[in-house]
Chain A
Amino acid sequence: MAELCFEHVTVQYPIYNSRSMSLRNQLVRISTGGRIENEAGHIQWVTALSDVNFTLRDGDSVGLIGHNGAGKSTLLRTMAGIYQPNIGLIHRTGKVATVLEMGAGMDVELSGYENIIRMGVLMGVSLSDIKSRIPDIEAFTQLGDFLQLPVRTYSSGMATRLMFAVATSVQPDILLVDEVFGTGDAEFQIKAKERMEALIKSVGIFVFASHNHDLIKQYCNRFFKLEHGQLQEIVTL
């Protein structure tokens, strides 16, 4: 049973430029009492999501569209609980898995096998669970003996295979995906698509951010459009 509910969620984050990042300017600001405050203390706030409301239940597959910088990745991260809302409430039941920027926590000095365990542990999977998934990852990546070598010896395509295999080796209730299709060689793309499709079928809620409308139409039954941080549900693409 998965559920994801946003109530008036606003996410903002401050951008500290090099002037406001500097301790000297903060100190000067104290000692000069506001004379150059406008310049030194200027922090820009970006409103990435503004008053977002929706409820997702089991069986919902959401396609997320919007221009670059419309807030798609921020929305996915907020759904995952990585970003906290400044205002509003999030109600979330079910285990979440994300396929965002892949390879978080990967250490290129460690071998493929060691990285499988390391990334798995970071994703909150228990050690015994990860070890039981190694055969599946071996089979999918087809990296063979390369898994015993440090990841720094991999080509970027090989590293992508490994990261993708680990990221998709989980069994979540809620799956959040940021545009990942179209990496690696042709053979891998087909395999990745199959694996992704199997995973999508097994989860309760699926959210997919993409610029590819055909893919979205293929996998999704609800469509959200983000524009300047404002979310609008649209009926058809």
Chain B
Amino acid sequence: MVSISKYPGLADVVKTSQCFRIVLFLAFSDVKARYKRSVLGPFWLTLGTAGGSAGLGLLWSELLRMDAKTFVPSLTAGLILWQFIAGVVSEASVLFSRQASIIRNLNLPLSIHPAQLLLRHLINLLHNIPVFFLVALVLGHPLTIESWLAIPGLVLVTLNLLWLALLIGLLGARFRDLEYLIAMVMPLLMFISPVFYRPNYLPFSEQIMWFNPFSHFIEIIRYPLFGLAPPNFIVLTLISMLVVGWAFYIGVV
């Protein structure tokens, strides 16, 4: 019996988790199709990130008179994480209109598309992570036991990005201006997030930076990579975002 259930948004997500293998297959198939005709394939991402962090890192550590040994690993981690977050958020706005032919012709839950987007970017992230470890190794940056905390941090970030991608996707399908609005806002958000620096480098604007949710997304993963457990307020922010975000999605959609 097909009836309109009380929480269609939730029912849709549950259906997606049931056909998770389809999502996984599609994400890999998309990555494969994208790099079909290139020799290095997704490893171009790895090289791009490596080049970017080497160039920016060496230049800025000199400009900002910082010790390259701590600055370059921090910048590398920041850039990699920002690519992941910004990639998901910017693509989310055109997600559903791009998949229109699948949506109109196949009986599949709608949330497979955000899930697939997220997985695709996680696959890209996996290609970028070795750059960080290489930088850490070369510059003798120590990784400690606390570094494992980055993994639950990444899980929290991913689950938060999923509801965000769902909502942005839905709004983007309705309001076509959103794509351009997000393209405009994301660079601004990058500057008020700790991509290029650690929060404590800022003498007075640190408070402003914490208003940007993406600052928390980055720091919950980057603190552990520098051998420290993330401060409680960051963990709390992410958990409350997770609860409020999903509650809002389930309640509204």
Q: Which A residues fall within an 8 A CB radius of B?
A: 16, 18, 21-24, 26, 77, 80-82, 84, 89-92, 96, 98, 100-101, 103-105, 107, 109-110, 114, 118, 121-124, 127, 150
Closest Cβ–Cβ distance, residue A43 to chain B (whole Å): 10
Q: Chain B: which residue is nearest A107 at the CB level? A: B33
- Could you tell me the distance between the alpha carbons of A96 and B177 in the complex, rounded to whole angstroms? 37
Closest Cβ–Cβ distance, residue B251 to chain A (whole Å): 19
Tell me if B2 is interfacial: C-beta within 8 Å of chain A.
yes
Tell me if B102 is interfacial: C-beta within 8 Å of chain A.
yes
Tell whether, in the assembled complex, residue A121 and residue B26 are in contact, meaning their CB atoms are under 8 Å apart: yes
Tell whether, in the assembled complex, residue A89 and residue B3 are in contact, meaning their CB atoms are under 8 Å apart: yes
Q: Chain A: which residue is nearest B32 at the CB level? A: A110
Tell whether, in the assembled complex, residue A77 and residue B36 are in contact, meaning their CB atoms are under 8 Å apart: no
Tell whether, in the assembled complex, residue A77 and residue B104 are in contact, meaning their CB atoms are under 8 Å apart: yes
Q: Tell me which residues across on chain A come within 8 A of B22, comparing CB atoms.
A: 121-122, 124
Q: Chain A: which residue is nearest B3 at the CB level? A: A89
Closest Cβ–Cβ distance, residue B107 to chain A (whole Å): 4
- Could you tell me the distance between the alpha carbons of A100 and B105 in the complex, rounded to whole angstroms? 7
Tell whether, in the assembled complex, residue B105 and residue A98 are in contact, meaning their CB atoms are under 8 Å apart: yes
Closest Cβ–Cβ distance, residue B4 to chain A (whole Å): 7
Closest Cβ–Cβ distance, residue A94 to chain B (whole Å): 13
B77-117, CB under 8 A of A: which get 1 and which 0? 00000000000000000000000011111111000000000
- Could you tell me the distance between the alpha carbons of A127 and B36 in the complex, rounded to whole angstroms? 22
Chain B interface extent, by class:
20 to 34
Tell whether, in the assembled complex, residue B105 and residue A82 are in contact, meaning their CB atoms are under 8 Å apart: yes
Q: Tell me which residues across on chain B come within 8 A of A22, comparing CB atoms.
A: 175-177
Closest Cβ–Cβ distance, residue B20 to chain A (whole Å): 12
Q: Tell me which residues across on chain A come within 8 A of B105, comparing CB atoms.
A: 77, 82, 98, 100-101, 104
Tell whether, in the assembled complex, residue A114 and residue B106 are in contact, meaning their CB atoms are under 8 Å apart: no
Tell me if B1 is interfacial: C-beta within 8 Å of chain A.
yes
- Could you tell me the distance between the alpha carbons of A103 and B37 in the complex, rounded to whole angstroms? 22
B1-44, CB under 8 A of A: which get 1 and which 0? 11110000000000000010110011001101110110000000
- Could you tell me the distance between the alpha carbons of A139 and B101 in the complex, rounded to whole angstroms? 27
Tell me if B178 is interfacial: C-beta within 8 Å of chain A.
yes
Tell whether, in the assembled complex, residue A110 and residue B36 are in contact, meaning their CB atoms are under 8 Å apart: yes
Closest Cβ–Cβ distance, residue A21 to chain B (whole Å): 5
Tell whether, in the assembled complex, residue B175 and residue A84 are in contact, meaning their CB atoms are under 8 Å apart: no
Q: Tell me which residues across on chain B come within 8 A of A100, comparing CB atoms.
A: 105
- Could you tell me the distance between the alpha carbons of A84 and B36 in the complex, rounded to whole angstroms? 37
Q: Quick one: which of B19, B32, B34, B101 contacts A101, CB cutoff 8 A?
A: B101
Q: Chain B: which residue is nearest A152 at the CB level? A: B36
- Could you tell me the distance between the alpha carbons of A26 and B181 in the complex, rounded to whole angstroms? 14
Tell whether, in the assembled complex, residue B176 and residue A101 are in contact, meaning their CB atoms are under 8 Å apart: no
Closest Cβ–Cβ distance, residue A48 to chain B (whole Å): 13
Find residues 116-159 in chain B having any chain A CB closer than 8 Å to their own CB.
Answer: none
Q: Tell me which residues across on chain A come within 8 A of B3, comparing CB atoms.
A: 89
- Could you tell me the distance between the alpha carbons of A127 and B177 in the complex, rounded to whole angstroms? 39
Instruction: Evaluate whether A122 and B175 lie within 8 angstroms (CB atoms) in the complex, with A91-B1, A110-B32 already known.
Output: no
Instruction: Evaluate whether A107 and B29 lie within 8 angstroms (CB atoms) in the complex, with A23-B178, A122-B22 already known.
Output: yes
Q: Tell me which residues across on chain B come within 8 A of A101, comparing CB atoms.
A: 101, 104-105
Instruction: Evaluate whether A89 and B106 lie within 8 angstroms (CB atoms) in the complex, with A23-B175, A24-B177, A109-B33 already known.
Output: no
Tell whether, in the assembled complex, residue A92 and residue B29 are in contact, meaning their CB atoms are under 8 Å apart: no
- Residue pairs across A and B with Cβ atoms less than 8 A apart, 5 shown, are A22-B177, A77-B104, A84-B2, A104-B101, A121-B21
Q: Quick one: which of B4, B33, B37, B104 contacts A82, CB cutoff 8 A?
A: B104
Tell whether, in the assembled complex, residue B174 and residue A110 are in contact, meaning their CB atoms are under 8 Å apart: no
Tell whether, in the assembled complex, residue A122 and residue B106 are in contact, meaning their CB atoms are under 8 Å apart: yes
Closest Cβ–Cβ distance, residue A33 to chain B (whole Å): 20
Q: Tell me which residues across on chain B come within 8 A of A89, comparing CB atoms.
A: 1-3
Closest Cβ–Cβ distance, residue B15 to chain A (whole Å): 11
Tell whether, in the assembled complex, residue A122 and residue B2 are in contact, meaning their CB atoms are under 8 Å apart: no
Q: Quick one: which of B1, B30, B108 contacts A122, CB cutoff 8 A?
A: B108
- Could you tell me the distance between the alpha carbons of A80 and B106 in the complex, rounded to whole angstroms? 8
